[in-house]
Chain A
């Protein structure tokens, strides 16, 4: 492996100065689970690694209705956060199945989205949760919606001298549920064939027949029985991973559902539309036709799961199997 210098700034300002000084010769390192692999595979060969490890507070999680995370928050910390599990479930779903416990102990959310792999597991949930990211350099500071962050496979708006300093998830509307499904071939240490995240905010005021929701019947049956109760979708975001060169929102599909009465048939149509919007490709990890088919299946399942999480908030635990 190529030799490099390893710098450990103690403040964010120090890190920004170093980054400015070394320019393209330097790389930031967080948990190192992507960056070291890239160096070993000779995809990059930085002379200097600037570690964010010693900078205090970058691993903080703050919650006051909205959520703020430093880039150095590890996947394991997210996994263990009850607040996130309860209010931003899709993100928990993602880190629950990211790599392995050993990887999650060191790998960070900042690193995950900065690498910008089309398969990055936290990307689709962050899109669905409507996250914004704060980017900082010596000269500038800006906060942008995460949709604008990804520009291509492995590419982001981050400039050479930028540090991603914060990820902010806005306070969800009342009666919101979210879910992410990583469609993978193994139970661990795998990248998704497809990732699907859905967030749904319901107009639940009119839902009366709540005893029905305590039954074990599938949510489609539940919805069917609730038809008279008119469950409306107030807000929806559908995000897909590995379905296009960057993690994407299925905007047309969302439009179809927003402010509509939710029904089995409508969800079916929404999922079909999402599949049409996506541009999955063939690779050794999966074939395009299959990915497209799975969008149809999984968007619907994630929508159901989100509804279930609104209606049964105490049951946020994600099942190993969905069917």
Chain B
């Protein structure tokens, strides 16, 4: 291994002290002079016509500065499908529909005033089951929405998710074993500890500044600009300033109604307006993970070679459309490319209902699909009479492979991951006893080298160096707690021969920072890292050039180590960085040492058939788990948890483990305890008492294993690791439960009730 100074080191996050001492400034801490407080009135019905809104009493309350409804605001439409106005007129389609909003001089008055708004509704028949919503005659959520060949009104979105490779029907005929099952996954929440919020502020020229906690500053800027246009404010500027982000996990990949409402209120009052969600709002008015009904069939030959994978999915879109509706595009990845399957068919439908609408969430559809796929791998292996470990090894992906979706698999450590998990669990010794203790594993693939979702997958970096040798890195990347700042500093420091503490990373202001598509697809370390490294190389070249003059040495003979420029030939010829910079700044005809670099990875957009090399490289991993199941209560306890990941290279093992711990913890919650309980469209558990996110007492000891495959395209060999940690968790646990007590739970979360009911059914059948 190379001799790195900053790479591969366990360096705590640069903002760790601020965060643990409570000094970090999050949106709720932020105050802008003259600021008003906004509040939103939501619908009390899942589906209803708005007959009348009377805001007069609220307007009369002293301290209220503006009251808005869908009837007195410009026609802004936002979201991926542009089907969502910030304030609803005529009709509400879910419990989270925003009906009115106001701004007041303090939060208490705002709250009091919101209760003074009177709205009359005519309740409409509502629909909460996507399969019902597809049927002829079902109540229409958006009457004006037309679809299908005949362009008829329908609840089915015009998103024809469809991936076909090979001949599934033929392959099915020739399969020795075929497993066919229905799996179901439900809504889970991101549970960001910092609730959603923003401050919108207009200057005298009607330019907008948004203090936001977005994961996508550049794209949010575009959304806000579109809104300004709709408000008649063409040609105005938008500046997005990020506060500390109290958790993203995909929840902040889109812009939401509350942001537009803050903008509208700020414009109306000519004052900065802040909106902060309560915990309850955070649970019912933000967008959870996409639920799905998954019909899956897979087949294999007599000796366990996979022949086909055939999946049909129905996704509950909710009443409006955000990125949740596009999760099938990412589900295609495990469906086509997790293990070697020559023939693949995948069709998915997104259906409007009167439920809450979904968003991106860590893994972006991948955990849903992988739950079905890798649970069923165990079912299929059992049919074929093959140990699921051998079954996986037999079908494991390998370097150099081109998958049915045309992914070009570069480095691939899947085999190593499976092997090491089996070894740590002592798999061959332990598995298959059915004595209440069980062992299970599951694997994953995810993009590890960016993902060309938009036309560009790029990120820009600017680096300048001040008089004292401090390196200012100005990046498009977003640090939302994952540690992008620290990792970028390590990469730049390594490339430039300085120390991490010499590097200052700025990533919070669109007026200053270069463009980037956002913190999604586990791309930041890879894309922003490569971008930062490119800029660092250029700056170093410039530095060596100016140093060459003052040291009387040719640039090729110079290098930098530990802040000192030195000659490789004559160690006596050396000078501290700061000194060289001061010399160039103060000299007549001086110059700035500064460089920019834009890195856009050589990956491909998916074509019309949804094929193409989406990412430059792919991240693989395998999780293994030992559980104990209480046969009398149905409770599952995790005794051992192993998470092995092909990470390319661990730039910072401490932060990397943090990502895997966090991912696996979210995954265990997804598998066993977490769900938003919706009854007739209403979220029944909008609090941490009844939403069962795991506590410190519930999280098992997660053993991480990093397989370093040193990817040639990654910065110092690194791949993305932000999402993978939660992708294979649920199927690994479900497989272990089956091994423990012989019941197969196909619906998440796997509650004690479900396990016990299945156990009873099994004994009754006997």
Contacts and interface: CB of A to CB of B under 8 A. Distances in A.
Interface of A: 1, 100, 183, 185-191, 284-287, 290, 293-294, 297-298, 321-323
A188 B696 contact: yes
A96 B541 CA distance: 63
A188 B695 contact: yes
A284 B684 contact: yes
B694 A186 contact: yes
B753 A183 contact: no
B23 interface: no
Contacts of A183: 633
A186 B674 CA distance: 11
Contacts of A323: 436, 630, 632
Contact of A287 (B679, B695, B753): B753
B606 interface: no
Interface residues of B, number: 25
A294 B633 CA distance: 7
Given A284-B677, A290-B756, A323-B630, A186 B697 contact: yes
B697 A187 contact: yes
A197 B673 CA distance: 25
Contacts of A189: 688-689, 695
B181 to A, nearest CB: 24
Interface in B597-644: 628, 630, 632-633, 637
23 contacts: A183-B633, A185-B692, A186-B673, A186-B695, A187-B695, A188-B695, A188-B696, A188-B697, A188-B698, A189-B688, A189-B689, A189-B695, A190-B689, A284-B685, A285-B690, A287-B753, A293-B756, A294-B633, A298-B633, A321-B637, A322-B630, A323-B436, A323-B630
A297 B633 contact: yes
Contact of A297 (B436, B632, B688): B632
A15 B688 CA distance: 35
B468 to A, nearest CB: 45
A302 B685 CA distance: 30
B283 to A, nearest CB: 13
B756 A284 contact: no
Contact of B689 (A191, A286, A298, A321): A191
B752 interface: yes
A119 B679 CA distance: 23
Chain B facing A: main interface SS: loop
A290 B753 contact: yes
Tell me which of A190, A321, A322 has the highest count of chain B C-beta atoms within 10 A of its own C-beta: A190
A284 B680 CA distance: 13
B104 to A, nearest CB: 16
Given A284-B677, A284-B690, A290-B752, A186 B633 contact: no
B677 to A, nearest CB: 5
A184 to B, nearest CB: 9
A183 B697 CA distance: 15
Nearest to A293: B756
Nearest to B669: A186
Nearest to A1: B108
Given A290-B756, A323-B632, 12 more contacts: A185-B751, A186-B673, A186-B692, A187-B698, A188-B695, A188-B697, A190-B689, A191-B689, A284-B679, A287-B753, A297-B633, A298-B633
Given A284-B685, A284-B690, A186 B698 contact: yes
A312 to B, nearest CB: 23
Contacts of B692: 185-186, 190
Interface in B184-241: none
Interface string B657-696: 0000000000000000100010100001100111010111
B626 to A, nearest CB: 14
B740 to A, nearest CB: 12
A319 to B, nearest CB: 12
A295 to B, nearest CB: 11
A286 to B, nearest CB: 8
Contacts of B685: 284
A27 to B, nearest CB: 20
Contacts of A190: 689, 692
B542 to A, nearest CB: 54
Interface string B426-454: 00000000001000000000000000000
Contacts of B108: 1
Contacts of A285: 690
B526 to A, nearest CB: 35
Nearest to A100: B695
Nearest to A301: B632
A8 B673 CA distance: 42
B412 to A, nearest CB: 37
User: Shortest 4 CB-CB distances between A and B: which pairs?
Assistant: A187-B697, A188-B697, A297-B632, A188-B695
Contacts of A290: 752-753, 756
Contacts of A298: 633
Interface string B695-713: 1111000000000000000
Contacts of A297: 632-633
A177 to B, nearest CB: 21
Contacts of B684: 284
Nearest to B697: A187
